[in-house]
């Protein structure tokens, strides 16, 4: 801020973070996988935050990481993962001349941006960071005074806009339940009130010879248990038969093992 004198430390931070930020930005555009793009842009955001901190804007840097890297990009990643783990961009142009148009628009936008900011900066005289910070007693206090002073309306309107967007998203994805959700208590009360066996249904069991869904469990006494077969199969009588020889074997096995237990 004063005469452009840059310390060695700051220069190192600038060149390292700046390079990483540019690499991240390029990687975000170049990489085919959507998740990789998201990671590269997170890298860019973190390095920009480091640059903010190095330029004596610690609050901005931290908020950049918390809000953009921590929340916005994280939600992006979340959506990407839900949508498809391996989704990647196709490089086929769906609209003719898309790339040329995009390139021209990009160049045009950068010229506009540089010209606009450059023009704005020409006419504004700089107070200097130290003086600006000293006016309110600190960098954070200065930001607060600006945000909740002259720019209060803009701040509140932006907040209202964001909340409206969030509400809109919630309403669009809201589904009306066609009957009230039963609570865990009600469910358990029903389960016991019906008088049916409240626990899990029998699994194929220790002596199982097959684990297909239509195979009934073999009970130790040599009988089969029909309730171990799913109901839709059971009502259609789609229960696989068990070879009587196997049943005998099971009865024999369980008799042996209980005999051993008694011997102990």
Partner 1 sequence: MTDGQFGLFGTDPWWLVIGKAVAIFGLLVLLTLFTIWWERRVVSRMQNRIGPNRVGPQGLLQSLMDGFKLALKEEVIPKAAHLGVYWIAPVISATAAFIAFAVIPFGPTVSVLGVETPLQLTDFPVSVLYVLAIASIGVYGLVLAGWSSGSTYPLLGGLRSTAQVISYEIAMGLSFVAVFIYAGSMSTSEIVVAQQPIWFAVILLPSFLIYVTSMVGETNRAPFDLPEAEGELVGGFHTEYSSLKFALFFLAEYINMVTVSALATTLFLGGYLAPWPLSLWEGANSGWLPVVWWLIKVQLFIFVFIWLRGTLPRLRYDQFMKFGWKVLIPAALVWVVIVSIARLFRNDVALSNTELLFIGAVIIATLLGGSWLLSARANRKEQRRLDAEAENARRVNEVLTGAATGHPVPPLPGQRFEYTPRRATVTTAEVSSSQAIDADAQEDPHG
- 162 closest CA partner among 234, 72, 88, 43: 72
User: Residue 74, interface with partner 1 (CB under 8 A)?
Assistant: yes
Q: Does 7 contact partner 1 by CB under 8 A?
A: no
- Helices 129-136, 139-147: inter-axial angle, 10-degree rounding: 70
Which one of the spans 63-71, 98-106, 108-116, 195-203 is the region binding partner 1 (CB under 8 A)? 63-71
What's CA 48's distance to the chain center, in Å?
Answer: 23
71, containing H or E segment: none
Contacts with partner 1, 21-60, as mask; x by CB under 8 A: --------------xx--x--x---x--x--------xx-
> Minimal distance in Å, beta carbon 236 to partner 1?
5
Please give the sequence-ordered ranges of beta strands (E in DSSP) within 139-264, or none if there are none: 217-218, 224-225
**Residues 235-254, mask of contacts with partner 1 (x by CB under 8 A):** xxxxx-x-------------
Would residue 99 be called left, alpha or beta, if left means φ above 0 and alpha means ψ between -120 and 50 degrees? alpha
Cα separation values, 172 from 74, 169, 176, 179, Å: 22, 5, 11, 20
Stretch 139-158 residues interacting with partner 1 (CB under 8 A): 139-140
Stretch of 110-118, 217-225, 234-242, 246-254 contacting partner 1, by CB under 8 A = 234-242
Note the residues at the interface with partner 1 (CB under 8 A): 35-36, 39, 42, 46, 49, 58-59, 62-63, 65-66, 69-71, 74-75, 77-78, 81-82, 85, 133, 137-140, 178-180, 184, 231-232, 235-239, 241
């Amino acid at each position: 801020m004063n005469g452009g004198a840059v310390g060695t430390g700051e220069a190192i931070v600038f060149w390292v973070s700046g390079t990483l930020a540019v690499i991240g930005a390029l990687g975000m555009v170049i990489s085919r996988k959507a998740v990789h793009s998201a990671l590269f842009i997170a890298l860019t955001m973190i390095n920009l935050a480091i640059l903010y901190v190095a330029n004596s804007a610690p609050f901005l840097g931290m908020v950049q990481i918390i809000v953009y890297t921590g929340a916005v990009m994280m939600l992006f990643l979340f959506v990407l993962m839900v949508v498809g783990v391996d989704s990647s961009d196709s490089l086929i142009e769906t609209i003719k001349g898309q790339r040329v148009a995009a390139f021209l628009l990009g160049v045009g936008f950068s010229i506009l941006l540089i010209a606009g900011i450059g023009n704005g900066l020409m006419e504004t005289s700089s107070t200097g960071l130290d003086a600006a910070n000293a006016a309110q007693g600190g960098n954070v206090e200065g930001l607060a005074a600006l945000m909740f002073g002259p720019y209060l309306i803009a701040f509140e309107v932006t907040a209202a806009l964001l909340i409206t967007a969030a509400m809109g998203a919630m309403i669009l994805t809201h589904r009306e339940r066609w009957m009230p959700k039963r609570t865990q208590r009600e469910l358990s009360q029903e389960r016991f009130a019906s008088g049916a066996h409240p626990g899990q249904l029998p699994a194929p069991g220790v002596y199982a010879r097959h684990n297909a869904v239509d195979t009934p469990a073999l009970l130790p006494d040599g009988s089969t248990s029909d309730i171990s077969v799913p109901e839709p199969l059971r009502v259609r009588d789609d229960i696989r038969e068990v070879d009587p020889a196997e049943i005998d074997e099971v009865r024999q096995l369980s008799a042996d093992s209980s005999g051993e237990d008694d011997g102990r």
